Structure 1
């Protein structure tokens, strides 16, 4: 940006210098012509060569000079417009680079927060479950050694409960890291299970509407983007929205798939206070797949997250059209 501003100032300085040179040359020509009486000499010359129409040459040269002056002014204007366009392009590139850097920093922070949350869950919940399981198995061994059938049954029952709790925790972590239900059940069923699990954890009513065939033709990467957007939107509702009801809708709109997550909470905060780097990252992934992600809502009127992705046949057609 500083370089282009310097170039613009240099262009103006060169134009001013060239204008001064032209004015100076014209003044020097007038002074020289006055001293040498060039006009009288030219008149006498043209009179002797009237048969060649040499006296009309001055008019032609004047028109040529005027045309060259107009041409120079137009080229200067074109150069200034090109320079201004380059400045705007560089400014847009700088803003984009700043936004990408901010996104990268936010995604790194989000990744570290997720890792810290998983580490806490492993330590607090699964670590405690493993410790309790070891204690119950130790009690079971002791009861068996003593021949105390009642104590052995109680210890075995507690160990079974701890094992089930540990299994649920492992499944929950795996679901957060990689939703296996997408591959086993499909997108619609996985979203329905996500809503049911989220409702059980949050206590907020969450309804899902969508048919399995709505996502037909959507690739595995696009299905993961849809799932992550729904997951992040529900997480934001739980953290910030103070909602009493959430609705998740999956529908086909022509050659596109639309996901809508809508709540009746407090709405979006002011522009400068908005959160949700997870949704920002999802928006970048959606854009890479030819889709869009929109966040709508005002204070007190709830929030709506809308994701639109082109289905696979359309993407393949676009790829064919853009292939050289």
Structure 2
């Protein structure tokens, strides 16, 4: 269908203010011509003169010129108002376009800031694993060697060696926890569904009183790293909030990607816990960080909750259509992150 004959194009033409003005002027001109023809046919001027001859002292016969001047003034005033409305409408459109541009710039800057933050997290996690991890392992091995050599002769050295090994193991476990918080475990190796399964399994062990259900539908193998990290962080933040406010609830997590190229991804997490009153301002930054993550990718974030009725959040993240210039593939240098995973609601 040609562009000019499309329904949206036709609707736009019907809604055009210039076409409406031309149509109204044509109607006024047509009515004026019809009125002139009828007055000429019916001799309206002579009949009006005969009707008003008896009221000559009131100057009623001078009424038509007065009405003509009044109509001309009203037409001039209406034209001025129309021009002012057109200028105001043009200015409003310019302001709306500027607001859209500023909003797009703000989203772009927010996305770049999140990318930079997540890149720094990845670098820090790699440094912790490669540098400190190796040195701690070497310290543990040396302490074990000292323990084995000193066991039959020096009990005090043996005790110090054991304490040194325990300290090294403790620091190693702490570093492992930091690495997992900085960079999701298994996201690069097993993809988003596998990383989410691992994350939920970890929370199953920590919260035995909570029933978790994870449902993943669709293909997530072609997502960029930015969306993978955002979706993972959303679920991670939601599970952190569950541990704080709904430790005996039933939690359902849905992650769905619509079929076809592009489309969108919908993430929903619902629980039947105590719920919250959303009208009361909260001190934590968890929900704010989740919303910023989603909106930085051009998505929408909604929450719903009432006291005693559980809590639900839903995020809709669009997926751009891949092009030859910028194929959709995991990007090793760009993934968003927002507020810390352990922040509050």
Q: TM-score, with normalisation over the residues of structure 2?
A: 0.51
**Selected match of 1:310 from 315, 318, 331:** 318
Q: How far, CA to CA, are the matches of 1:76 and 1:272 in structure 2?
A: 46
- After TM superposition, the structure 1 stretch with the greater mean CA deviation from structure 2, 212-221 or 255-264, is 212-221
Given the superposition, is the C-alpha separation of residues 165 and 203 from structure 1 closer, same or farther in structure 2, using an over 3 Å criterion?
Answer: farther
Query: How many angstroms apart in 2 are the aligned matches of 1:242 and 1:225?
Result: 24
CA distance in 2, matches of 1:156, 1:245: 47
- Which residue number corresponds to residue 172 of structure 1? 177
Where do 5+ consecutive residues of structure 1 fail to align?
A: 1-57, 116-125, 320-324
Per-residue CA deviation, residues 123-162 of structure 1 (Å, 9 max, x unaligned), is xxx9xxx9xx89x94x974773574498888776665554
Does residue 229 (structure 1) correspond to residue 234 (structure 2)? The answer is: yes
Q: 2: CA distance between counterparts of 1:316 and 1:204?
A: 47
TM-score by length of 1: 0.54
CA shift at 1:224, angstroms? 0.7
Larger relative contact order, structure 1 or 2 (CA cutoff 8 Å, min sep 6): 2
1:138-287 equivalent positions in 2, closer than 5 A: 141=146, 144-145=149-150, 147-148=152-153, 160-211=165-216, 214-254=219-259, 255-274=263-282, 276-287=284-295
- 1:144-182 deviations in whole A, cap 9, x for unaligned? 357449888877666555444322221211222222521
8 Å CA contact 2:301, 2:315 repeated in 1 = yes
Alpha-carbon spacing, 1:170–1:273, altered in 2? closer, same or farther (3 Å): same
User: In the TM superposition, what is the alpha-carbon distance from 1:251 to its structure 2 partner?
Assistant: 2.2
C-alpha spacing 1:64/1:174, structure 2 compared with 1 (3 Å): farther
How many pairs does the alignment contain?
228
Rounded Cα–Cα distance in structure 2 between residues aligned with 1:213 and 1:165? 40
Tell me the distance in 1 between the aligned counterparts of 2:148 and 2:258. Answer: 64
Assess, with a 3 A threshold, how the Cα gap between structure 1 residues 66 and 198 changes in structure 2: closer, same or farther.
Answer: same
Residue of structure 2 equivalent to 1:23: none
Structure 2 unaligned blocks of 5 or more = 1-62, 122-131, 327-345
* CA distance in structure 2 between the partners assigned to 1:302 and 1:195 by the alignment: 19
Shift of 1:192: 1.2
Aligned pairs for 1:61-140 (under 5 A) are 63=68, 66-73=71-78, 75-76=80-81, 79=84, 137=143
Provide the aligned C-alpha RMSD in A: 4.7
